[in-house]
């Protein structure tokens, strides 16, 4: 199987069987992103614990690339520390700009093929730009809209 076909299979698999789809309420980070050029919409919900992404869900609609990228991203960030997540965001955005990733990005490399279609790059990066914005807002102390005063058992 040619590499392009393999990548296409990975993207279609995530599009047709999205991982971590849904919502988390309450969540520590909730953020939405849109790519009007293509009609893509995404929303992310993260629950943090001890500086790590304990759980993550996404919801949205749009083209296969935007939804597959979101699905892959949720898989990739679950369990990671916020520093690791930010490093991954930088790696992914760098890859979409044509840089060689310095660490193993797993399934995410399937989205490299999108670079051949510049108009679709925003579809692939939408999830990552939104995630970064959500983390920035969280770091700035903005409470998530769904935050509650739930106490730990
Ligand atoms: Zn799109």
- Using a CB cutoff of 5 Å, list residues around ligand 1, an ion: 38, 40, 63, 66, 123
Percent of the chain whose predicted confidence (pLDDT) is above 70: 92
At residue 125, what are phi and psi to the nearest 5 degrees? -90, -10
> How far is 44 from 46, CA to CA, in rounded Å?
7
134 falls within a domain: yes
Q: Per-residue pLDDT tens for 63-108?
A: 999 999 999 999 999 999 999 999 999 999 999 999 988 888 999 9
146 falls within a domain: no
- Tell me, in angstroms, the distance from the centre of ligand 1 to residue 18's CA: 16
- Tell me, in angstroms, the distance from the centre of ligand 1 to residue 151's CA: 39
- Tell me, in angstroms, the distance from the centre of ligand 1 to residue 133's CA: 19
**Arithmetic mean of pLDDT, 107-115:** 93
148 falls within a domain: no
Judged against a pLDDT cut of 80, whether residue 37 lies above it is answered with yes
Q: How confident is the model at residue 5 (pLDDT cuts 50, 70, 90)?
A: confident
Q: How many domains does the chain have?
A: 1
Question: What is the spatial order of strands in the sheet that 29-35 belongs to?
Answer: 29-35, 40-49, 52-61
- Tell me, in angstroms, the distance from the centre of ligand 1 to residue 140's CA: 29
Q: Per-residue pLDDT tens for 131-141?
A: 999 999 999 98
Question: pTM score, two decimals?
Answer: 0.90
99 falls within a domain: yes
pLDDT of residue 143: 62
pLDDT of residue 6: 86
149 falls within a domain: no
User: CATH number of the domain that 108 lies in?
Assistant: 3.90.1010.10
pLDDT of residue 1: 63
Structural domain harbouring 108 = 3-139
Tokens of 4: 């392009």
């Amino acid at each position: 199987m040619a590499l392009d076909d393999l990548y296409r299979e990975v993207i279609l698999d995530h599009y047709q069987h999205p991982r971590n789809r849904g919502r988390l309420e309450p969540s520590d980070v909730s953020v939405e992103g849109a790519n009007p050029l293509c009609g893509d919409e995404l929303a992310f919900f993260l629950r943090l614990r001890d500086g790590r992404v304990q759980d993550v869900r996404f919801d949205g609609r749009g083209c296969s690339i935007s939804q597959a990228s979101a699905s892959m991203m949720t898989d990739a960030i679950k369990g990671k520390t916020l520093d690791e997540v930010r490093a991954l965001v930088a790696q992914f955005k760098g890859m979409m700009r044509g840089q060689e990733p310095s660490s193993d990005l797993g399934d995410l490399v399937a989205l490299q093929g999108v670079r051949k279609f510049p108009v679709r790059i925003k579809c692939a990066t939408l999830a990552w730009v939104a995630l970064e914005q959500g983390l920035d807002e969280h770091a700035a102390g903005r409470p998530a809209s769904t935050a509650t005063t739930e106490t730990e058992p």
